[in-house]
Amino acid sequence: MTQDDPFGTTRRPYGRSCDHESLAGEVISILKDRQAVCPSGARQVAVDYLVRAVIKRLDFDAALVLEELSTYRLTHDALIDLHIPKAAEQLGALWMTSDLDFATVTVGSLRLQSLLGIAAHGLTREPVDQSNVLHALVIVPEAEQHFLGASVVAAQLRRLGCDVSLAINEGSEQLLARVEYDRPDMALFSCARAAGLETICGTVKKIRQKSDVTPVLAIGGAYSGVTKSITEQTGVDLVTNTAKDVVGFTTKRKKALGRI
């Protein structure tokens, strides 16, 4: 005659309890990984998703990727300021270690650029006094190949209420003519390579020598922090990768000159 095991009801729940504890520990570990934050402030899980999305999808759809990123509860500000730049940096690192070829990195960067464009389109600008809107010129030096960072800065400046123009791969004479005609309040150079730094030095010198009203001149980008005394070397007013720094500096200078 078959009898129920009197210990069965105690053994089975104990086993399930162990499974539950193991599962709970795994879930907590996954959640911790999802919340891991890079030194830049970006969430690593979102950065990893971005990198996968831009290098592996044959039918890449920027709008769909942005929609999927909404599950990470990222604002467009955080996407532009933190996650897209960090994803671009990660693409570069993978190329340096030969884990990705140049073509893949190039396509990935172009896709990040398209994501940036859509995200920036939906940004809300900070309220500003329209009679004192600052005009900014963001410059990618001649022969420079990296323009994503400049686009990020342009989006940040627009969010701060600035009127922004982009100058990509223009020679120093073209830039000088643009500064003379547009008279921007600030000119921001994006520098990713040593060759770009040399070009910037020459352009800054011409602007200071030939322009009757010199804008605030700033330099940022991957290479801007590599060389010591870069302010003296290039002749710019400040070195920073933060758009707010340039806007604040320009506003203070205009007030000091009595233009506000």
The beta strands (E) that lie in the chain are given as 135-140, 163-168, 186-190, 216-220, 238-239
Structure tokens at 234: 């290039």
**Whole-number pLDDT of residue 203:** 92
Euclidean distance between CA atoms 237 and 204, whole angstroms: 10
Q: Along the 260 residues of the chain, how does pLDDT read in single tens digits? A: 444 333 333 444 445 444 545 554 544 444 444 455 555 567 889 999 999 999 987 889 998 998 888 888 888 888 988 899 999 989 989 988 999 998 999 999 999 999 998 888 766 666 555 667 899 999 998 877 778 889 999 999 998 989 999 999 898 899 999 999 999 999 999 987 777 788 899 999 999 998 888 899 999 887 766 566 788 888 999 999 889 999 999 999 988 877 65
Say how many CA atoms lie within 13 Å of 37 toward its Cβ. 7
Beta bridge partners of 239: 219
Q: Helix, strand, or coil here: 194?
A: helix
**Whole-number pLDDT of residue 206:** 92
Distant-in-sequence, close-in-space partners of 97: CB < 8 Å, separation ≥ 6: none
Q: Helix, strand, or coil here: 139?
A: strand
pTM: 0.75
**Whole-number pLDDT of residue 14:** 43
**Whole-number pLDDT of residue 16:** 47
- Runs of H (alpha helix) within 74-193: 76-78, 84-96, 102-121, 148-159, 172-182
